Structure 1
Amino acid sequence: MINKIIEFSLKHRLLTIFWVALISIVGVIAYTELPKDIYPDLNAPLVTIITENPGMAAEDVERLISFPLESLLNGAPHVTRVRSESATGSSVVTVEFEWGTNIYLARQIVASKLELVAARLPLGTIGPTLGPVSSRMGEVFEFAVVGEDISPLELRSIADWTIRYRLQGVPGVSFVVNMGGFVKQFKVYLKPEMLKHYGITIREIKEAIETSNRNFSGGILKKGPQEVLIKGIGRIETIDHIKNIVITSRNNIPVYVKDVAEVRVEGKFRREDASHNGQPAVNVTIEKQYGGDTLTAINNVKKTLKQLAKDLPPNIKIKNYYDQSILILKSLRHVESSIIEGALLIIVVMLFFMWHLRSSLIASLTIPFSILIALVLMAIFKVKLTVMSIGGLAIGIGKTANGSIIMVENIYRVLKEKKGQGSTLLLTEEAAKDVGNYLFSANLIIILVFLPLLSLREIEGAMFKPTAFAVVAALFGSLLLNLTLKPVLCSILLTEKHLKEKRNPITEFLTTRYKIILKKALDHKLILVIGLVALLVIAFVLYGFLGKEFVPPLDEGSILASTVMLPETSLEESIKMGRRVEKIFLSFPEVVSVTRTTGTPEGSEHLHPVNHSHYNIELLPREKRKRGFEELTEAMRQKLDKLPGVAYIFEQPIANKLAEMLTGTEGMLSVKLFGPELEVLNEKIEEIRNVLTTIQGVTDLRIEQTTGIPQLVIKPDRIKLARYGIRVGDLADVVEAALNGLEVTDVYEQNRITSILIRLPEKYRQDEESIKNLLIDAPNGERIPLAQLAEIYRTEGPQTILRENLMRRKLVICNIAHRDIGSFVEEA
């Protein structure tokens, strides 16, 4: 078969050159069109389920929401692991599927299961809803929206209803998450004394507002040959409409909302905050579509933002601080330049050893053409251009050069030795056939060596398959070229006038030295064999001392810092401490900007309590700063250690996203402890932490905070409630509406949606005593203090409850410095 290929190529030389040229052109096009990224597609098939029940305690969220969802999904087809986070008012359940599972099939499986449990969730539950078709690795672009002389409420409104709406329609964008500022809300602050005066309940106000906010239809009015649609407009449009809603009438006099409440436009109660360089901001995170091209998505976002900037008020600015395309292009350029340098070096070596310009140039053509053929194959099999796949091409370059030199050198030798004994074409065919089968066997052996890598699965397969594929594709391309193009070019370019006898001083010199070394080796066979065996033993022993990492660390050009304060810390105190931390980071000359986010945005698939802050630290390019990631973070640790009650961890953005996607945790290393009892878990996890502190190399060690949040428990006394004819549900409705607030309906105002909340003013809920004195209406008209109807006491409860595969989980997370992860884990 190999000889037939050679014969066909030499018989159709023009056709051979044409197909090589055609494939090369397609390869150039493929290079420009192939998706480019820093790593291969490491998006695990994950589906997140987001469920909210505002104000519900973490234990109740776990028991009533997270656990039923986990139980239902744990045995679903292709599911490998189910984990959940239950926090105050929020549940996030993450369902992991087998690698290779189609993401849309996975979502369909989850959606079909949710239908079975949705109706059984507690009253007031929002959702469950599926998270975006993306993953943590999909967060590829982030920017801050800042403004001068503008309120945080208006800043957030612009970010929500102008910026986010435009970005959600951008090709390649899956989801846009806004965080920071205040979400606009109409707040109806009830006046208890006026409610008592008019004898109006909270439920009546709720029903009045709900029923006063609807459009309606009167059908169609026929008028001769025409039809007229009857349209009723009754939706609330302004704050005055809310104030003038009629609740009831007393003595034929209407009672309006404004008579029993004060209506104001304020910010919604929030569990989040954001800032940029110490200035209040709205942080915007762009998630690309699952499996989409990162560079294309980012370029589309940048174009849209450039257009948006013209439409925004002049005092509103958009400041990009995380752009993954910069790192991708920089890393790919670095690898590509290394390939070019290596290729040039190989060509120079060919020239010196072959000592014939035409032969060297013919042999060297294998390098670019085999890479172009590999690019065509990568495009056909949808292999992205990443550091791993381009690294595979770099490996392939060295392998491809060997066969090319053998083929061209043998043809050149035969043409010289048999000069005049036949035509150049026949002699070329003879020489090519001499080595063709051996080249095929040699290439096949190398390809077979890399084939096992193509059978890897899960994260290992996703990471290393592109490398193996690129090597195999380059070798396959070089084999085709050596059997086709090289004989054709030799038959055309190596004519008799180019076959001159020339001494090769380099080859002669090396041959002479090699003969001397070979003779000595043959004279001392036993010593040589013993030496080689000793080297093998030494190499085997030293292998055990080599550091072990999954992927080599990159300097990504930015740092992601995370700080955690005591569980009872309020949002305001976290913001105050966050500003101090920002100033520390900004004091480093290598830092360009610092963007802080605290807490969790509404509807997010990442739950972080208000005592948890993240800092995206943008750095100068590596060539413009003296200190790298490790040196900088070490200096930052020294300053952060001076802050009381602050635990921290430093990572890089892509490393953090990869860790959170695969394990649900931060840090380079995490230790998971499972068990049913939180008290036992808390005790044992402390023991594990104490052990880890003694191991060399551990840094940023901390236990993931899940306990210790203060709670004020209201436990109704059923006997006392029965005495006054009050049901538990009636008491619960009053407490929830008065203290937590109750969103009753939405106002649609010029492409914006604003909710209406009813609740008591702050003075009625500012402390424990005020809550105890909250008056509850009885059916007989009496108003009884809450303290007389329920037991009210303080306790502590979990802040967040983590679960995995139907069991509670505790975590110790840490980073490792100045040593490899493998040896650290082995010692631990």
Structure 2
Amino acid sequence: MNISEVSIRRGITFFMIYILIAGAGLFGLSQLKIDLFPEMDFPVVAILTTYQGVGPEDIENVLTRPLEEAVISVEGVEQVSSISRTGVSVILVEFTWGTDINVGENNIRKNIDLVRDYLPTDASEPITIAFNPSMQPILILNVSSDDLGDVELNQVLTEQVQPRLERQEGVASVSVSGGTEREIQILIDPYRLAANKLSMDQIKSAVGMANLDIPGGLLEEGRNEFTVITETRFNNVEDIRNVTVGYSPTGKPVYLKNVAEVVDGYKEMTQIVRNNRENSIVISVSKQSDANTVNACNNIIDYLPILEDQIGNDVSFNVIFNQADFIEKSVQNLSSTAILAFIMSALVLFFFLRHIVSSLIVAVSIPISKKKFLWPSPLLHLPRCLSLYLFFFFRGYPVCFLMIWL
């Protein structure tokens, strides 16, 4: 007795099994993560190092070459390329396809640590970045305020808005771009510095040591114990001007204001963000790799009115890019195309079979066969794009079998 005879004799049993599988397919479809791009691990790691005020040739000699020699020996590295510019060294490390990019990035960091002591002390710590399409912003917000200037607004966004948005579900990182940032500038007078027999290293060390909270030990009072901290961090520009940077031959203290001018100014603008032909400040939000893009965007947009009330100062957020809109429109177009395809398939089947019941049986098998092959997708952590490949691969088999049987 073959499966065809058993399915005819036990029609109700097989019908219930079929319905159960179709239901599992519906559940699997609802659990699938929706993204604009599939998850891909590109085998590329970038190493970024900055060294302000140094030319391209010196950047190549003191940063790029030592780092290249350190990472070229990492297992799985296929090619290493670099770009040396004024103040910046960028190295791109390409691995062979199939390499675990997380393991490769960790191996690169280990090799960089081996040569870190040979790099200039004034250079920044090398940063490794593994390329991932999910790092692209899923939401970009334009921020404006009638009560705050650019400097104050930028400070509010960095200190208050950014941490709160990063705590939202599915959010990996939040960055603020544009606007003017405050910067305390110390303009050294070389002649007064030489007259007081001081060096730049002494100035740098004195200012750094003065801007610290120094632990003062423990204070015991009865059964209580208190931690004592000496707070010496700068509260204003005048505190910086009055830092003692050395002593004269007569023992008189030399203050920073005696050898330099301290200016409460602005950072040099290296980028300009414009929206509707006007300078603007924008917030870019990137999601976690395993997060649902649509849910993450909707959660943030729902939270924005609450955030505006918490911050005050007439701060308003306007969405200028929302990746969830593209995804939802794509899903709507796919759904409408699927419905149209179902109707056209039913009409074509009726044209050839000339029998309404037989045509409906074959037509109904199309969406059911689609759903029953989607149920293992969440268990196997398949992205929706691969699940659609399975659907298009398998959906034709039930139709062919039913056509032959009918």
TM-score, length basis structure 2: 0.87
2:156 alignment partner in structure 1: 158
SS at match of 2:234: coil
The answer as to 2:278 corresponding to 1:262 is: no
1:78 alignment partner in structure 2: 76
SS at match of 1:187: strand
| Separation (CA, whole Å) in 2 of partners of 1:6 and 1:223 | 89
| Separation (CA, whole Å) in 1 of partners of 2:195 and 2:54 | 32
- Deviations 1:117-165, CA, capped at 9 Å, x for gaps: 2222123110112236744763333233334464332232233222322
| Separation (CA, whole Å) in 2 of partners of 1:149 and 1:223 | 48
2:122 alignment partner in structure 1: 124
| Separation (CA, whole Å) in 2 of partners of 1:335 and 1:276 | 32
| Separation (CA, whole Å) in 1 of partners of 2:133 and 2:45 | 8
The answer as to 2:70 corresponding to 1:90 is: no
SS at match of 2:229: strand
- Deviations 1:195-240, CA, capped at 9 Å, x for gaps: 4665544433323212212222233334444433333222223323
| Separation (CA, whole Å) in 2 of partners of 1:198 and 1:234 | 25
CA displacement at 1:57 relative to structure 2: 1.1
| Separation (CA, whole Å) in 2 of partners of 1:350 and 1:8 | 27
CA displacement at 1:291 relative to structure 2: 5.4
| Separation (CA, whole Å) in 2 of partners of 1:303 and 1:40 | 26
Write the letter of the residue equivalent to 1:35.
Answer: K
Report matched runs for 1:283-362 at 5 Å: 283-290=282-289, 292-362=291-361
Report matched runs for 1:618-637 at 5 Å: none
2:14 alignment partner in structure 1: 16
Aligned partners of 2:374 and 2:391 also within 8 Å: no
Write the letter of the residue equivalent to 1:46.
Answer: V
Alpha-carbon distance change, 81 to 173 in structure 1, aligned in 2, over 3 angstroms? farther
1:37 alignment partner in structure 2: 35
| Separation (CA, whole Å) in 1 of partners of 2:143 and 2:153 | 8
Write the letter of the residue equivalent to 1:318.
Answer: F
2:101 alignment partner in structure 1: 103
Alpha-carbon distance change, 253 to 60 in structure 1, aligned in 2, over 3 angstroms? closer
| Separation (CA, whole Å) in 2 of partners of 1:197 and 1:63 | 35
Alpha-carbon distance change, 137 to 161 in structure 1, aligned in 2, over 3 angstroms? closer
CA displacement at 1:384 relative to structure 2: 2.0
Aligned partners of 1:138 and 1:289 also within 8 Å: no
- Deviations 1:627-655, CA, capped at 9 Å, x for gaps: xxxxxxxxxxxxxxxxxxxxxxxxxxxxx
2:236 alignment partner in structure 1: 238
Alpha-carbon distance change, 160 to 255 in structure 1, aligned in 2, over 3 angstroms? same
Alpha-carbon distance change, 192 to 361 in structure 1, aligned in 2, over 3 angstroms? same
SS at match of 2:125: strand
Alpha-carbon distance change, 235 to 116 in structure 1, aligned in 2, over 3 angstroms? same
1:229 alignment partner in structure 2: 227
| Separation (CA, whole Å) in 1 of partners of 2:309 and 2:318 | 14
| Separation (CA, whole Å) in 2 of partners of 1:134 and 1:158 | 30
Write the letter of the residue equivalent to 1:279.
Answer: E
Write the letter of the residue equivalent to 2:257.
Answer: K
Write the letter of the residue equivalent to 2:272.
Answer: D
SS at match of 2:47: strand
Alpha-carbon distance change, 9 to 132 in structure 1, aligned in 2, over 3 angstroms? same
SS at match of 1:375: coil
CA displacement at 1:89 relative to structure 2: 0.9
Report matched runs for 1:115-264 at 5 Å: 115-131=113-129, 134-135=132-133, 138-148=136-146, 150-192=148-190, 194-195=192-193, 198-249=196-247, 254-264=253-263
| Separation (CA, whole Å) in 1 of partners of 2:207 and 2:70 | 38
Alpha-carbon distance change, 197 to 77 in structure 1, aligned in 2, over 3 angstroms? closer
Aligned partners of 2:373 and 2:390 also within 8 Å: no
| Separation (CA, whole Å) in 1 of partners of 2:376 and 2:83 | 43
Alpha-carbon distance change, 38 to 215 in structure 1, aligned in 2, over 3 angstroms? closer
- Deviations 1:529-554, CA, capped at 9 Å, x for gaps: xxxxxxxxxxxxxxxxxxxxxxxxxx
Alpha-carbon distance change, 195 to 341 in structure 1, aligned in 2, over 3 angstroms? same
Aligned partners of 1:132 and 1:175 also within 8 Å: no
CA displacement at 1:45 relative to structure 2: 3.3
Aligned partners of 1:38 and 1:332 also within 8 Å: no
Report matched runs for 1:369-380 at 5 Å: 369-380=368-379
Alpha-carbon distance change, 97 to 279 in structure 1, aligned in 2, over 3 angstroms? same
1:26 alignment partner in structure 2: 24
Alpha-carbon distance change, 101 to 203 in structure 1, aligned in 2, over 3 angstroms? closer
Alpha-carbon distance change, 188 to 44 in structure 1, aligned in 2, over 3 angstroms? same
Aligned partners of 2:51 and 2:88 also within 8 Å: yes
Write the letter of the residue equivalent to 1:267.
Answer: Y
Aligned partners of 1:141 and 1:298 also within 8 Å: yes
CA displacement at 1:341 relative to structure 2: 1.0
Aligned partners of 1:189 and 1:263 also within 8 Å: yes
2:47 alignment partner in structure 1: 49
Alpha-carbon distance change, 91 to 231 in structure 1, aligned in 2, over 3 angstroms? same
Q: How many residues align?
A: 405
Aligned partners of 2:42 and 2:132 also within 8 Å: no
| Separation (CA, whole Å) in 1 of partners of 2:29 and 2:216 | 61
| Separation (CA, whole Å) in 1 of partners of 2:93 and 2:67 | 10
Write the letter of the residue equivalent to 2:104.
Answer: A
Alpha-carbon distance change, 310 to 12 in structure 1, aligned in 2, over 3 angstroms? farther
1:556 alignment partner in structure 2: none
Write the letter of the residue equivalent to 1:371.
Answer: K
Report matched runs for 1:656-667 at 5 Å: none
SS at match of 1:50: strand
TM-score, length basis structure 1: 0.45
| Structure 1 gaps, min length 5 | 410-828
SS at match of 1:365: helix
- Deviations 1:257-312, CA, capped at 9 Å, x for gaps: 33443323221233222121122222333333345443333334434444323333
- Deviations 1:739-758, CA, capped at 9 Å, x for gaps: xxxxxxxxxxxxxxxxxxxx
Alpha-carbon distance change, 294 to 228 in structure 1, aligned in 2, over 3 angstroms? closer
Cα RMSD of the aligned pairs, angstroms, is 2.9
Aligned partners of 2:37 and 2:133 also within 8 Å: no
SS at match of 1:342: helix
Larger RCO (alpha carbons 8 Å, 6+ apart): 2
| Separation (CA, whole Å) in 2 of partners of 1:103 and 1:131 | 10
- Deviations 1:438-493, CA, capped at 9 Å, x for gaps: xxxxxxxxxxxxxxxxxxxxxxxxxxxxxxxxxxxxxxxxxxxxxxxxxxxxxxxx
1:368 alignment partner in structure 2: 367
SS at match of 1:159: helix
Aligned partners of 1:339 and 1:394 also within 8 Å: no
The answer as to 2:24 corresponding to 1:65 is: no
| Separation (CA, whole Å) in 1 of partners of 2:172 and 2:85 | 26
| Separation (CA, whole Å) in 2 of partners of 1:307 and 1:100 | 44
Aligned partners of 2:23 and 2:372 also within 8 Å: no
Aligned partners of 1:134 and 1:289 also within 8 Å: no
